[in-house]
A and B are shown apart, each in its own frame.
Chain A
Amino acid sequence: MSKRIPISVTVNGETYEEYVQPRKLLVDFLREDLRLTGTHVGCEHGICGSCTILMNDEAVRSCLMFAVQANGTELRTVEGLSKQGKLHPLQEAFQEQFGLQCGFCTPGFLMTACDLLEHGQDYTEEEIRVALSGNLCRCTGYQSIVESVQVAAEKIRKG
């Protein structure tokens, strides 16, 4: 068994100093060590997108990184989206447009869309579909998710 390595990582603004096994996947670190269970494990091979989080403001798969690699980074997870009881425009839009059913894939979609909308809000429907195409949803047939992101973009544009 390899030695545990100290890391310092900021998640949703809070800094954690922890010791981790080198092989511990980042998603397991978030869920098990930090008890941030909003990020989900869907496939552990980078296809389904359920574990998508933001690392230094860009979407990454937390199942394809080791926790030790997050040392010194700033992470954002679904738990950090709403502020003081107020939903993020994306969360509002998902609720209004019925962009979720079972909710298992939802955190991954939200974080993927968050990356997209923080880098622009003016996208065609096709561009949104492409941007979301690394996330699997088995409930909605995607239409309501695409519409949610369109509505969220509009909300953010209008401030």
Chain B
Amino acid sequence: MKPVSFDYFAPTTVNEAVALLEEHGDDAKILAGGQSLVPMMNFRLVRPTCLVDINQIRDLAYIHEKDDRLHIGAITRHRDLETSTLVQQCNGLLFEGVQLIGHTAIRTRGTVGGSIIHADPTAELPAILAALDGEVRLIGPKGQRTISWRDLFVTFFTTVIEPVEICDEIIIPKLPSSAGWAFEEFTRRHGDFAVAGVAAVIVTDNNDRCTDARLAITGTAPTPIRATQAESFLVGKSLTQTTLEEAGRLVSTEVEPESDVHATANYRQHLAGALTTRALQRAVERCLSRKDQREK
């Protein structure tokens, strides 16, 4: 289990990186945190002839807030997110979700941009991007473009990023102060790839009626998906246990997962529903307790 031979470059600016990608074409791969890429290289499932290591582009490590949105540099580590008070304050879902990624040593190296562009359908960050209608910024030889999550994910491990482009920033809207959230996932072992997962956000009005609901589901499709039927079902309803269970049931019917060595399609379908209900329960609790705090 040793990788194939490759040429290695460690540019220090985005422009340099883009130029290298242009020069080396299809066979070049960007090395970010490497926590997914390197195992695949060790297995020789992935055999790049050239690696462009972007870890030396130090400008790409930042988290800041602007216009009610979090702007996160692509090589910001998961560990930086989980220890960031800014993230904790303005985006509880991201704060909760990032802690579910792998284990400490993985989060030390793993990067936000890498995780999103890797586009593993069971991963947490793509689901959070989906739940919050986030965007990524891509830079290529022809300039930059900003892509909504909806247009970003194509299928397993595939996004619309061109081989000559690099993702330099992730933009995630802050959660409104009236929002409640939860990230629920089911793994057989702590830190595993999820069998299925649900990122849920709800916003309620003064009468505890749901005004906005977001349900992003992992592990049930080639990309993270939004359970739109269940979302529209929730809007306008008061969030009783029966309603949350019905939303879960709707999610079960909405998803069309595959069977694999870890779980059958039916089981995954069921799990997506059960986890939805659980996530919603916790989101509602959070919603109510945040409201209480505000009223105090």
Which A residues are within 8 Å of any B CB, using their own CB? 1-3, 5, 21-23, 25, 28, 44-46, 49, 52, 55, 58-61, 63-66, 68-69, 112, 115-116, 130-131, 133-135
Q: What are 15 contact pairs spanning A and B, CB under 8 A?
A: A3-B7, A5-B8, A45-B1, A46-B35, A49-B103, A58-B108, A61-B109, A63-B38, A69-B53, A115-B104, A116-B104, A130-B190, A133-B190, A134-B104, A134-B105
A63 and B189 alpha carbons, distance in the complex (Å): 21
Nearest CB on A from B285, distance (A): 21
Say if the beta carbon of B250 comes within 8 Å of chain A: no
Which B residues are within 8 Å of any A CB, using their own CB? 1-8, 10, 31, 34-35, 38-39, 42-43, 51, 53, 55, 79, 102-106, 108-109, 189-191
Given contacts A23-B4, A23-B6, contact A65 B38 (CB under 8 A): yes
How many residue pairs link A and B with beta carbons under 8 A? The number is 88
Tell whether, in the assembled complex, residue A22 and residue B51 are in contact, meaning their CB atoms are under 8 Å apart. yes
Given contacts A59-B108, A60-B109, A64-B34, contact A2 B191 (CB under 8 A): no
Chain A residue at smallest Cβ distance from B51: A22
Most buried by A among B79, B105, B190, B191: B105
List B contacts of A22 (CB < 8 A): 5-8, 51
List B contacts of A130 (CB < 8 A): 190
Given contacts A58-B79, A64-B38, A65-B109, contact A2 B104 (CB under 8 A): no
Nearest CB on B from A68, distance (A): 6
